[in-house]
Every structure is written in C-alpha cells, then in structure tokens.
Structure 1
C-alpha cells in the first residue's frame, strides 16, 4: 500500500473507514484477535538425536492467489532454506507446506500432515488465529509451534511467537525514555484490535520501567476521531505534566494525520518527546514529514539486516518481504541448538536458552511464556535521515536488551 502525503491524509482516512481496507504489515497482519485462549502448561516438545537430520515443517501462506501473501510465502521459504544451508554442523530436513492464505483449518490440516510425515517442530503459520489453532492441534502431539505472529496473546504452552512484539518495542522505548528523564508518558492509541494490544503493551512497559502513565487517550481510526482527541492531547501536554507522547499509530494513514493535527495545535517533537510503537522510517516517504522529526522509534540492527537483504537479492533476484527473515531466525535457532549437541533442541527448555540466538535483525531470545525479546536500536529522524540514538545491543544483560 502506497504512502500518503500529509495533505491527502484526511481523504485517505475516510477511504480506509469506508472500505475497511487491511494493511499488510508486520504488526497489523499479526495482531488478529486470538482464537481459543492462549496455551499454557508444562514443558513441551520432542527430544531428537542431534547427529541425525532434524525434521522441521515450515507453514507458509501461499496458495491463495494473493500477490503479497505469495511474495511473503516465497520469502519465508527461501529464507528458511538459506538458514538450513548455513547450518554447518547440523542437518535440517526442511519440508514446506502451503496454508492457502493462512486459513486456520488448512493450517491445522497441513500441520497434522507434516507431523504424520515425521516433523518434530512447526515453524509458522502467519496469523495469530491460525497459530492458535495449530498450537491447540499440536499440543496433544507434543510438538512446539514457532509462529510468525507478533501477537503475544496467543503465546504460551507449545506456541512461541517469532515476530517483534509490541511489548518488546514498548519496553525498549520506555526504558530508554526513563534513562533520558522522560518518565511521564501519555499514551495515544487507536481503538482497533492492534491499537488495544499496543496500548496494553505500553501500559505494562511503563509499569515495568518505573515510569508514570500520565494519561490514556483512545480514538477511532478516522479523520473525525483524530480531530476529536487532538484538543485533549494538546491540553495534557501543555499542562506540563507530560514528558512524552507514546502513539500506537498502527494504521498507515493515522500517524501522518495525527502528528499533523497535533502540530497545528502546537504539539510537536520540539515541544514534547514523541514515541512510536511502529516503524516511523517505513515507508521512506515518512522521513520527509516535518511532524515526525525528533520522534523516537525502535528498529533492528540495520547493518545485519542489510547484509541479509543483499545476500537474498543476489540469490533470488528480488527483495525479501519484511517478514521473510523470521523463517531464517526460526530455522537458525533450531540449527544452533542441534549443532551444540542438544537433544532437547526442540523442547521448551532448549528453545528458551538464556544465551539466545543470532538472527537476521540481531540477537533474540524466546521466553518461557512464548513471547520473545529482540535487541533493538532506538532511532529518530533528523533532516530527513534516520539517526541512531542508541544502538541495538549485541547480547543480553545490557540496557535495552
């Protein structure tokens, strides 16, 4: 979906409300409403002989005819195969199954087919609803599921999420803000599903980092909704009791319009610190929006991701989808554990190794609750360029890790 210029934001927002258009992005596609309750329970997963090929099933969303999902499916498949070829000292027996656009019933059927054929771990599927369904189906078969979702609400038990979670981003930014004496945080969130998930993540990050929640503002995803809350936000900022405004801004059209209206009301990054739960450097046209200057957002280690993208383009003649690297991370984590001789590589104990793993976008850990922690950099925009304020940690145990 193409970016919108600031002066077109109002009409674009109206169009989104009328059409109910979905935005295929790393956050929105994974922030679906969870199906059955998140899985919890004892340690799960099967033991392996690390000297033998490790049977891994990859569930990708191909087969629906949707061009973007087919591109993502290719990227996930190619990235997983690249990780398998990099698995020196371990052998990954990777088999790929399409889920027809990530249909939950199809995903469950393919997962059962894969396990019947010998798979001992599932990487995928994509959407939270499908991941939850596959997790429920695999629980009785003692198989762990490493989903591409970033919705931690469906994590737990035998389900892990590989996607960068709202909780991870919020914790990174609030923690950095506390160290910069930006402790009083006003949260501004859309009242859609992803906005509610993001708002909860911000609230928890504020509490976890010893900051103060200075207020909550929610708004509909519409021109009128944003205009309706702008005076409330401006009043809170001008009261002197707010150090930072943390926006979920999940919808592609919301961030430009919201910050434009705030600027018109006298609230800018020069007045108070803006924080964003989503990438403010994507699409690249956002770098030219004056209202986003000096706002903080979190990004992965760009040097590592750049190396992967160059390698992928050289091998496949196209850019990888933004989520394609998650498949590389999942396969490489399993390969690293098998290479270390871990018989428990596919179990909860193995997958949640405290040392973590080296991923395409930096180091990451899978946590016992099924969520993850990814090392992120804190970035801002100055003069139309991305500036790194604090680099992503290269290991765990440091600030921001």
Structure 2
C-alpha cells in the first residue's frame, strides 16, 4: 500500500540514487551516476566517426550488463528492444553483436575494444555512466562513436552521446511553457545531493534561456529533519516568486514538500508548482493534495503504449522502462545507414537537426553529446493526468 501522506513525517528513506530514481522515475534512474569528467574528450562536436559501406551489413556493438546480477533483467530488455528495432529496418542491414560488460567499467572498456577490433563501427551502450565514460576513452583513438544509455550529462561529449532523458531537456520544456503562460519568476527547491545538484543547474539554465528570473535556489539535507529545517527559508523565497520548481520525486522528498509548503503559506492555489520528476510514477502519487494543479513533463504516452504493446507481443512480457533507449539507438543508426552515405555514423550525421523517430516520440542528439526529446506538459487534476500541451511531433514546432 502506498501511504505517503501518513508516512510523510517519518524519517525519509535514503536509498542509493540509482535505486530511488528507478522506483520513481524509471528512465532517469538506472543510468545515472556520480559526475565523471572525460579526460581530453569533453566538449562539443564528438568524434568524427568511421566511414562505412552501406551496401553491406553494418556491424553495431551492443554493450549491456548481461551477467550483472542487479541489472541482468534490464540487459535482456535492452537487447530485446534492440533486436525489435533491427527487425523494423527492412532493407537496411545491421549486424548486431552483443557484448557483456558485467556492469563493470573496466570490463566495458575491454569489451568495447574487442568489438571495435572485430569491426564494430559504432557502440550502443553501455548502461551505466562510469562504464560509458571508460568506453568512450577506450575507443576514441579508433574514431568510433558511443551511444550510451546513460542520462548523466557530465560524461557526454567527445565521442560519447547519451540517449537517456536529461534534466535539462525536461527543465527547458517546462520553463518554456511557464514563460508562455506568463510566469516571471521561480524558486528552485532541491536536495543537497548529486541528483539535486544536477536538477538545480538544469533548471537555472532553462529559466535563464526562457527569460524567467530565479529568485533563489534553496537546498535541503535529504532527511525529514532537513526538509523541516529548510522550510522557513524555502517558504520565504517562494513568496517572492510565482512558481516553485521541485526537483524531488515520489521516492524522495516530494510528498513531504507538498505537504509542508501549503502549511507555510505557499499553496498550489496561489503558486504554480512544477516538477522535474514524473508525478504519475507511481500512479498513487497523483492523489497527493499538494500536487493538484501542478505541472510536470512526460513523453507521448500513445507512442510509449505502442512500443510496449509491440514488445509484449514479441517477447511475452512488458519491457523495462529503459528498453526504449536501445530501440531508439538502433532506430537512429538504421535511419542514417538507410540514407546510403558512407559518413552515416559520424558526429555530423548523428547530430542531424531533423532528429529521429523513437519509441517515445522524436529525439535528436546534440553536438555536446546530450539529447533533446519531445515531451508533453501535463497537469495533475482530480488525481488524474491532464495533458496541457502535447508533445511536438517534429523539431521546429511549438514545444521545442
């Protein structure tokens, strides 16, 4: 039973970042890790990439943690989704070769080198940010690009691109919508941990690009006592803004925050609440009184449902929430190879402005190694999700 309100004043549980996010955010979660800088590779542009012969099957290496006891189920789902995407390509031929990283960065780097030595022209995966960083460094001198399943922007750049949804992409969508609705100022509320810092930075940047003034960024220690102690300070700042942007999710401080904010004079009837996390995960979160009227972002659910249905039909079970990333990677590679150009897997091709059609809608890779994904803006009303602004179906349209 989900009893978040009755438990709100109990001490917050402090699970590892990946586990807490996995429970509440699905896609954002499992690929996250502590910030890691890529020595000598950070920056925009990415590796140029190899030339390929599109008249022959193109070798693609899929790096997944098959033998990692904690991630084996995710690995199977990623491989299944990749094969589903390969089957969709028709006359485009992809030679998909699977390598086991064991969930270990050093093993991932060694397997990546083995794959490249065997002819792989691009690497899809690995799952975890630290492993993706190691793989990128390992194959940089081989002129091979990496499409990682991570969502950690600190490992993006050079020859490493991340497919996981980013906080900046979500923040951009929500701040852009807020500006269009006449919002002028925002108070950011975040835990003092890695996830919270990433969220804070993303929202500050998005607010700046949308012309919204950041009144204050208020952090709190990730515990019940930390939230309670910080609330007077948070409330004082929030009274000076017309929106409050919360980075926390349902497995973290969100339930307690939306209980205490109204008790301190910052109610959702007078101040617009915005969430960086998915507020419909788990569904019981939608029943929180403090979230009614609040905004959050989500992918096109009709597209997600279509992908899930196809996966279920092919494999007899539901996909892991991360499975769509593997499908997207193959879809992008296949679309580029299908154009018949020898530079299909170079950084310039991978970052084409038009982007690609993925499992959850359109997306594109950026020259800095991050990505943009189409998102809808949703509100919580009557304990249900209401779409306020649908996800755009192409770049250049409203919402991007």
TM-score strictly above 0.5: yes
1:331 is matched with which residue? 330
* Residues 34 and 132, structure 1, Cα contact 8 Å, conserved in 2: no
Q: List aligned pairs for 1:57-72, cutoff 5 A.
A: 57-66=61-70, 69-72=71-74
**What's 1:376 paired with?**
375
Structure 2: unaligned runs, 5 residues or longer: none
Q: What is residue 98 of structure 2 aligned with on the other side?
A: 96
- Other-structure match for 2:76: 74
Structure 1 pair 9–390 and aligned structure 2 pair: CA distance change class (3 A): same
- C-alpha distance 193-96 of structure 1, shift in aligned 2 (>3 A): same
| Cα distance between partner residues in 2 of 1:292 and 1:88 | 45
The aligned length equals: 393
2:14 pairs with one of 9, 13, 16: 16
Contact 2:94-2:334 within 8 A present in 1 as well = yes
Contact 1:189-1:219 within 8 A present in 2 as well:
yes
Listed as ranges, the matches of 1:184-333 within 5 Å are 184-238=185-239, 241-250=240-249, 252-333=251-332
Matches within 5 A, 1:37-186: 37=38, 39-40=42-43, 43-66=47-70, 69-100=71-102, 102-186=103-187
* CA gap 1:3/1:48 in 2 versus in 1, 3 angstroms: farther
Counterpart in the other structure of 1:355: 354
| Superimposed CA distance per residue, residues 31-52 of structure 1 (whole angstroms, 9 cap, x where no aligned partner) | 3123333533664211111111
Change (3 A) 1:362 1:42: closer
Partner-residue secondary structure (3-state), 1:319 = coil
- Between the aligned partners of 1:253 and 1:56, the Cα distance in structure 2 is 38
Once the 2 structures are TM-superposed, how far is the Cα of residue 204 of structure 1 from its aligned partner? 0.6
Give the distance between the partners of 2:204 and 2:146, measured in 1 at CA. Answer: 28
Which whole-Å CA distance do the structure 2 matches of 1:308 and 1:78 have between them? Answer: 12
Query: How far apart in 2 are the matches of 1:42 and 1:253?
Result: 35
**Partners of 2:190 and 2:32 in 1: CA distance:** 14
Structure 1: gaps spanning 5 or more residues: none
- Equivalent residues of 2:123, 2:144 under 8 A apart: yes
1:178, CA displacement in angstroms? 0.3
Contact 1:155-1:370 at 8 Å conserved across structures: yes
How many angstroms apart in 2 are the aligned matches of 1:21 and 1:156?
A: 22
The alignment's TM-score, normalised by the length of structure 1, stands at: 0.94
> Which stretch shows the higher mean deviation, 228-237 or 337-346?
228-237
Measured against aligned partners, the alpha-carbon deviations of 1:167-198 in whole angstroms (never above 9, x if no partner) come to 10000000000000112011111111111011
- The answer as to whether partners of 2:18 and 2:29 remain within 8 angstroms in 1 is no
Partner SS, residue 230 of structure 1? helix
- Whole-angstrom CA distance in 1 between matches of 2:217 and 2:257: 15
Task: Output the CA distance in 1 between the equivalents of 2:36 and 2:57.
Answer: 34
Compute the displacement of 1:288 (Å): 1.3
Q: Distance in 2 between matches of 1:3 and 1:342?
A: 53
Report the alpha carbon displacement of residue 268 of structure 1 after superposing the two structures with TM. Answer: 2.5
Deviation at 1:361, TM superposition (A): 0.5
Cα offset, 1:98, TM superposition: 1.9
Q: Does structure 1 conserve the Cα–Cα contact (< 8 Å) formed by 2:46 and 2:160?
A: no
Tell me the C-alpha RMSD between the 2 structures.
Answer: 1.8
TM-score by length of 2: 0.94
Q: Distance in 2 between matches of 1:251 and 1:193?
A: 17
Change (3 A) 1:323 1:341: same
- 1:223-277: CA deviation from partner (whole Å, max 9, x where unpaired): 0111112122222233xx3010011115713111111111222322212001111
Tell which deviates more after alignment, 86-95 or 262-271: 262-271
Task: Deviation per CA, 1:9-54: give whole Å up to 9, x if none.
Answer: 34351x427x888323432433312333353366421111111101
Deviation (angstroms), 1:160: 0.3
85 and 161 in structure 1: CA distance in 2 versus 1, 3 angstrom threshold: same
Matched residue, 2:342? 343
How many angstroms apart in 1 are the aligned matches of 2:17 and 2:116? Answer: 37
